């Protein structure tokens, strides 16, 4: 193999690596919470690709819990709460508010759909 070809191949593989790295940086999905809903209440991610949920609240403190991925955090008004996950399984997974916030609290939930 001549040297120029070798350098070209090497450069090509480094460039491919950089693209792959860029593709792995988390996609952001914004979800806002208010009594008694998440908006949007259905979000989509891809298996094996990191996703950052950016959670905000429009009214009061809420909770965010997704047992399938062992995630739980408070959502505090006036700040962004970021949680990053890399889904390792496909399917539909429920997240819900786990801080009692009033009469509609039990119905405050949403779905993360993980596609292959």
Residues that bind Cu ion (CB under 5 A): 97, 101, 105, 108
Q: CB within 8 A of 8, min separation 6: which ones?
A: none
- 78 vs 116 by CB, closer to Cu ion: 78
Rounded distance between C-alpha atoms, residue 55 and residue 89, angstroms: 22
Q: Residue 7 Cβ, how far from Cu ion at the closest point, in Å?
A: 59
- 55 vs 101 by CB, closer to Cu ion: 101
Rounded distance between C-alpha atoms, residue 22 and residue 87, angstroms: 18
Q: Residue 43 Cβ, how far from Cu ion at the closest point, in Å?
A: 18
- 45 vs 97 by CB, closer to Cu ion: 97
Q: Residue 70 Cβ, how far from Cu ion at the closest point, in Å?
A: 20
Checking 25-29 for CB contacts under 8 A at 24+ apart, the result is: 25/50, 26/50, 26/51, 26/52, 26/84, 27/51, 27/52, 28/52, 28/53, 28/54, 29/53, 29/54
- 65 vs 105 by CB, closer to Cu ion: 105
Q: Residue 64 Cβ, how far from Cu ion at the closest point, in Å?
A: 10
């Amino acid at each position: 193999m001549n040297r120029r070809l070798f350098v070209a191949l090497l450069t090509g593989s480094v460039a491919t690596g950089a693209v792959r790295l860029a593709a792995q940086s988390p996609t952001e999905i914004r979800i806002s919470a208010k009594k008694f809903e998440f908006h949007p209440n259905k979000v989509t991610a891809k298996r094996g690709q990191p996703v950052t949920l950016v959670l905000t609240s429009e009214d009061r403190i809420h909770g965010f819990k997704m047992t399938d991925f062992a995630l739980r955090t408070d959502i505090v008004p006036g700040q962004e709460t970021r949680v990053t996950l890399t889904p390792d399984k496909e399917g539909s997974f429920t997240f819900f508010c786990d801080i009692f916030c009033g009469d509609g609290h039990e119905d405050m939930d949403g779905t993360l759909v993980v596609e292959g």
